[in-house]
Chains A and B, each alone.
Chain A
Amino acid sequence: MKDRVFSGPDVPTALAEAAAALGQPETELRYVVLDAGSVGGRGLQPTPARVAVLLEDQPPAGADRPEPWSPPPDARAGIRGTVRAVAEAAGIDVSAEIAEGEERVVVHLRGPDHAFFFGREGRGDVLRATEHLLQRSYGAEFLPRPLRVECEGFQERRDRALAEEARDLARAVLADGQARTTEPLNAYERRVVHVALNHEPGVTTYSVGEGAARRVTVAPAEEKPPLVAEAGEDPPST
Chain B
Amino acid sequence: MRELVSTLVRGLVREPGRVRVHERTVRGRLVIELTVHPDDRGRVIGRDGRTAKALRTVLGAVARKHGHSCQLEIID
Contacts and interface: CB of A to CB of B under 8 A. Distances in A.
A126 B57 contact: yes
Chain A, interface size category, equals 20 to 34
Given A86-B58, A129-B58, A136-B12, A66 B19 contact: yes
B41 interface: no
Nearest to A63: B22
Contacts of A130: 54, 58
A85 B1 CA distance: 9
Nearest to B48: A211
A39 to B, nearest CB: 45
Contact of B54 (A82, A89, A116, A129): A129
B8 interface: yes
A213 B42 CA distance: 21
Contacts of B50: 132
Contact of A86 (B4, B17, B35): B4
A81 B7 CA distance: 8
A74 to B, nearest CB: 12
Nearest to A126: B61
Q: Is the interface of B mostly helix, strand, loop or mixed?
A: helix
A90 interface: yes
B51 interface: yes
Give the interface size class of chain B: 20 to 34
Contact of A136 (B19, B46, B64): B46
- Chain A interface main SS type: helix
B55 interface: yes
Contacts of B33: 64
A103 interface: no
Interface in B1-53: 1, 3-4, 6-8, 10-12, 16-17, 19-22, 33, 35, 43, 46, 48, 50-51, 53
Nearest to A83: B7
29 contacts: A59-B22, A64-B33, A69-B6, A69-B10, A71-B10, A81-B7, A82-B11, A86-B62, A90-B61, A90-B62, A119-B57, A119-B61, A125-B57, A125-B61, A129-B53, A129-B54, A129-B57, A130-B54, A132-B50, A132-B54, A133-B8, A133-B11, A134-B11, A136-B12, A137-B8, A137-B11, A137-B12, A138-B11, A211-B48
Given A64-B21, A211-B48, 12 more contacts: A64-B22, A66-B17, A85-B7, A85-B8, A89-B3, A90-B65, A125-B61, A128-B54, A129-B55, A133-B12, A136-B43, A137-B12
Interface of A: 59, 63-67, 69, 71, 78, 81-82, 85-86, 88-92, 116, 119-120, 125-126, 128-130, 132-134, 136-138, 211-212
